[in-house]
């Protein structure tokens, strides 16, 4: 009878600490990947902080439309709700990864292999991307970073980390999001490119692709 409460207490403490453990583990991967790109730990922390804050900010790409939508709740009561329609790019999940990619482009000595890898990533992400109404663009989680790492090791072995981040980030943005924008515009509601912040495919693809090149 003595061991059950102790085990239960340890289990509850583990559940409470799980978000902290996950964040530390996630930050270590981000820190490792950004160091492979030549960024300092302080800059890594700043970029991650800006990404989290920026995930709440959507920059409009055109004019928003507001319309009244009739909805029904769980109990069967109908009500009118205002819905914003339009296209935006998320600051944290879209703009910041693109800025990092453009910054890394300045360190590239041979652009041809990087552009080849980027072109292949556009084809891969567009092929695997699926547009689901009410959800957005869906991609298998490990497909983009795995291919970005593989192509970078093949075509740009002198610095595969930089190539993997650029091709993974911009390839996912162009192939999965921008080339499916015409399909997304048919959906209702606000379309936010990179709208999931640090957990969006654009951000995670770049980080995981760099991590995979070091394995």
CB 167 within 8 A of CB 114: yes
pLDDT digits (tens, 9 = 90+) for 72-116: 666 666 767 676 777 888 898 889 999 999 999 999 989 999 999
Range(s) of the domain holding residue 19: 3-213
pLDDT digits (tens, 9 = 90+) for 106-154: 999 899 999 999 999 999 999 998 877 666 778 888 899 999 999 999 9
* Tokens at 100, concatenated: 């990092």
* Tokens at 81, concatenated: 């709700």
* Tokens at 89, concatenated: 């790019």
pTM (predicted TM-score)? 0.83
Number of domains in the chain: 1
């Amino acid at each position: 009878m003595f061991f059950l409460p102790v085990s239960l207490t340890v289990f509850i403490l583990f559940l409470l600490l799980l978000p902290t453990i996950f964040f530390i583990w996630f930050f270590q991967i981000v820190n490792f990947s950004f160091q492979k790109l030549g960024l300092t730990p302080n800059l890594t922390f700043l970029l991650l902080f800006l990404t989290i804050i920026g995930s709440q900010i959507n920059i409009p790409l055109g004019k928003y439309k507001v319309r009244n939508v009739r909805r029904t709740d769980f109990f069967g009561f109908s009500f009118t709700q205002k819905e914003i329609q339009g296209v935006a790019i998320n600051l944290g999940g879209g703009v910041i990864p693109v800025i990092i990619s453009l910054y890394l482009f300045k360190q590239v000595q041979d652009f041809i292999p990087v552009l080849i890898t980027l072109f292949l990533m556009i084809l891969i992400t567009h092929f695997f991307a699926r547009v689901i109404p009410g959800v957005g663009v869906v991609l298998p989680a490990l497909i983009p970073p795995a291919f970005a790492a593989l192509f970078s090791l093949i075509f740009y072995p002198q610095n595969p980390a930089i190539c993997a981040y650029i091709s993974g980030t911009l390839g996912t943005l162009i192939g999965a999001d921008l080339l499916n924008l015409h399909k997304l515009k048919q959906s209702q509601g606000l379309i936010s490119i990179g709208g999931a912040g640090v957990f969006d495919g654009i951000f995670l693809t770049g980080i995981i692709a760099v991590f995979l090149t070091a394995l």
